[in-house]
A and B are shown apart, each in its own frame.
Chain A
Amino acid sequence: MAVDVRAPEHPRVQRLEQVWEERPGILGWLTTVDHKRIGLLYFFTTLAFFGAGGIEALLIRTQLAQPESKVLAPDTFNELFTTHGVTMIFLFVIPMTTGAFGNYLVPLMIGSRDMAFPRMNALSYWLFLGSGIFIYIGLFMGFGPNAGWFDYVPLALRHFNPGPNVDFYALGLILNGVSSTLAAINFIVTIFKLRAPGMSLNRMPLFCFAMLAVSLALIFALPALTIDLVFLELSRKVGFQFFIPGNGGDPLLWQHLFWLFAHPEVYIIVLPAFGIATSIIPTFAKRRMIAFPLVALAELLVAFIGFGVWAHHMFATGLPTITLVFFAAATLMVVIPSTIQVYAWTMTVSAGRPEFRAPLLFIGGFIVFFVMGGLSGIMFAAIPFDQATTDTYFVVAHFHFIIFGAAVFPILGGMYYWFPKVTGRLYHEGLAQLSFWLAFVGTALTFFPMHIVGLIGMPRRVYTYPHGLGWDSYNLIETIGSYILAAGLLLVAFNLIYSRFSGAPAGPDPFHGGTLEWTIPSPPPHYNFAVIPTVSSAYPNWDEPDRAVDAGKLERGELTYEAGHETPTSTVRDGVFDEVVDMPSESPWPVTLAFFAALALVMVLISHYAIAGIFLLLVLFSLAGWHWKEPQEA
Chain B
Amino acid sequence: MTGVRGARGVLLTFAVLALAGCADKQNTLAPASKQEGRISTLFWIMMAGAWIGFAIIVGLLVLGWVNRRREGLPGGGGERAATRIVIVMGVFVPIVLLSTLFVYSNIFVVKSTAAPPPGTTVRTLGVVGHQWFWEVRYPGTEAVTANEIHIPVNTRVNVVATTDDVIHSFWVPQLNRKIDMIPGRENRVLLAADRTGVFRGECAEFCGLQHAHMSMQVVAEPVAKFKRWLANMARPAPAPTSSDERRGREVFLSKACSGCHTVRGTDAAGKIGPDLTHVASRSTLAALTIPNTRDYLFRWIHDPQQFKEGVKMPSLHLTDSEVNALVAYLRSLK
Contact = CB atoms under 8 A, between A and B. Distances in A.
Direct contact of A and B (CB under 8 A): yes
A455 B28 contact: yes
Nearest to B36: A388
Interface string B53-76: 110011011011101111111100
A147 B206 contact: yes
B231 interface: no
A335 B15 CA distance: 27
A364 interface: yes
Interface stretch (A200-208, A367-375, A584-592): A367-375
A371 B90 contact: no
A209 to B, nearest CB: 17
Nearest to B1: A364
Contacts of A376: 50
Chain A interface, >50% SS class: helix
Interface string B78-108: 1100110111011100110011011011110
Contacts of A73: 309
How big is the B interface, by class?
35 or more
Given A367-B57, A390-B178, A155 B15 contact: no
A63 to B, nearest CB: 11
Interface residues of A, number: 90
A321 B310 contact: no
Interface in B6-44: 7-8, 11, 15, 18-19, 22-23, 25-29, 36, 38-39, 42-43
Nearest to B83: A291
B212 A316 contact: no
Given A321-B110, A351-B73, A74 B309 contact: yes
A387 B167 CA distance: 16
A375 B86 contact: no
A572 B309 CA distance: 61
B46 interface: yes
Contact of B212 (A335, A343, A464): A464
B208 interface: yes
A354 B113 CA distance: 48
B310 A339 contact: no
A281 B271 CA distance: 64
Contacts of B207: 155
Contacts of B25: 457, 468-470
B210 interface: yes
Contacts of B70: 353
Contacts of B43: 379, 385, 388, 455
Interface stretch (A13-21, A272-280, A440-448): A440-448
A154 interface: yes
A321 B8 contact: no
Interface in A349-372: 349-356, 364, 367-368, 371-372
19 contacts: A155-B206, A155-B208, A160-B131, A250-B184, A287-B71, A349-B60, A350-B61, A368-B58, A372-B54, A375-B53, A378-B98, A383-B106, A387-B177, A392-B204, A457-B25, A459-B203, A462-B212, A470-B18, A470-B23
Question: Which 9 pairs across A and B sit closest by C-beta, in order of nearness?
Answer: A245-B184, A457-B26, A387-B177, A382-B105, A318-B187, A462-B212, A470-B22, A343-B90, A350-B64
Interface of A: 73-75, 78, 147-148, 152, 154-155, 160, 245-246, 250-252, 285, 287, 290-291, 294, 316-318, 321, 324-325, 328-329, 332, 335-336, 339-344, 346-356, 364, 367-368, 371-372, 375-376, 378-379, 381-385, 387-392, 440-441, 444, 448-449, 452, 455-466, 468-470, 474
Interface of B: 1, 4, 7-8, 11, 15, 18-19, 22-23, 25-29, 36, 38-39, 42-43, 46-47, 50, 53-54, 57-58, 60-61, 63-65, 67-74, 78-79, 82-83, 85-87, 89-91, 94-95, 98-99, 101-102, 104-107, 109-110, 112-115, 131, 165-167, 169, 171, 173, 177-180, 182-185, 187-188, 200, 202-212, 215, 288, 309-310
